[in-house]
Amino acid sequence: MNLRTLTIASCNLYNLNLPGLRMYTDSNGWTEAEYQRKIRWTAQQLLALDADLIGLQELWHEDALAAVLVAAGLESEYDTVLPPNTRGQRIVCAALVRKGLLVGQPDWISDFPPNFLLSSAGDDPQSPQIGVNISGFSRPVLHLNIQPRSPGPQVQVFVCHFKSKGPTKVYREAWYRANTAIYSKHATSLGSALSTIRRTAEAAALRFWLTEQLKANDTPAIVLGDLNDGQHSNTTNILTEQPQYLMGESMGGGDVALYTAQTLQQFRDTRDVYYTHVHQNVRESLDHILVSQEFYDHSKKRIWLFDGLQLNNDHLNTEDHKADGSTDHGVIRASFKYKPYKK
């Protein structure tokens, strides 16, 4: 395959499962009518996206995704990438890859790297010791390879779904139940802190893994998905390593850096209206497409030139996503033209 344009998308499916199956604490799951609305709405999104690579989050059941593809008439257009036994018992990261692009076998990264540590005695005598004991991702990261052009380098792709901002439910913990009088009034703040720590650890662990893979070898990479944090958040900065975005005729690029499609689009817009999630009337960008220097306009290692970002978020104007079958996240799509840097 020799694509002239590579299109990449990300969509949180908002618990796509078969009707009647339990999800979290909801023992009844979707009704048949709600399920059919989700299938129709999601199928329309896939048709509108027309993307070569679509990263998916919050998929429960493989048959539900198959039903979406049939409804869209796209079952022969994509390779479906999902873990074995995706039968409605857990949520997973998955992907749809245009036929002919997928190379090798995908894998799901559950454990943090073996040498990854978050431990410190403190930067100075006033800083207490800190240690974070987390061994793996809340949602395993999907890792796959595509080859948009042949000959040409393979592109490593990582589909992510990091820990949400929602407070961890500490009322289930033994230490909480042992002293409810003290901890009940602090449940929200403590739960939020735990969620932030977990999400930060996930970002740092994936960055550790990425650096090991990308350092000094010109490997193109794409990281996409529901990162559950904003464009300039600490967790996103950990993932990207905060590269400098060059202007004018300047050329450079960072060896292991990642560049956000949101920022690339902002340099071309006169107004920023990018948001992918609404909570308590606060609009945030939680869903991202991050790309290595091989996709960055001002990189001397550029292979693909950024050609724009599209965002569908009109459905976020309503909170009742059961009514129309929509998701509670915006759907994003970035496009890149094949245009290697000429020295």
Q: Is the confidence at residue 280, as pLDDT, over 80?
A: no
Residue 100 lies in a domain: yes
Q: Tell me the per-residue pLDDT of 226-274, one tens digit each, with 9 for 90 and over.
A: 999 999 999 999 999 999 887 777 788 889 999 999 989 988 876 667 8
Q: Tell me the per-residue pLDDT of 301-330, one tens digit each, with 9 for 90 and over.
A: 999 999 999 999 888 888 888 889 999 999
How many distinct structural domains can be found in the chain? 1
| Residues 247 and 155 sit within 8 Å (Cβ to Cβ) | no
DSSP one-letter string for 45-112: HHHHH--SEEEEEEEEEHHHHHHHHHHHT-TTTEEEE--TT-EEEEEEEEEEEETTTEEEEEEEEEEP
Residue 107 lies in a domain: yes
Cα 124 to the chain's mean position, in Å? 36
Question: Which residue range is the domain that position 108 belongs to?
Answer: 5-338
| Residue 64 to residues 27, 32, 35, Cα–Cα distance (Å) | 18, 12, 9
Q: Tell me the per-residue pLDDT of 36-62, one tens digit each, with 9 for 90 and over.
A: 999 999 999 999 999 999 999 999 999
Amino acid found at 338: Y
C-alpha–C-alpha distance, residues 99 and 149, integer Å:
13
End-to-end CA distance of the chain: 26
- The three-state secondary structure class of 201 is helix
DSSP designation for 320:
-
Q: Residue 77 — pLDDT band, cuts 50, 70, 90? A: very high
- With vertex at residue 322, the alpha carbon angle to CA 318 and CA 327, rounded to the nearest 5 degrees, is 65
Q: Tell me the per-residue pLDDT of 147-162, one tens digit each, with 9 for 90 and over.
A: 999 999 999 999 999 9
Residue 91 lies in a domain: yes
Residue 343 lies in a domain: no
Looking at the chain, the whole-number percentage of residues with pLDDT higher than 90 is 81
Residue 89 lies in a domain: yes
Q: What is the CATH number of the domain that holds 240?
A: 3.60.10.10
Closest of 48, 49, 70, 61 to residue 16, by C-alpha? 61
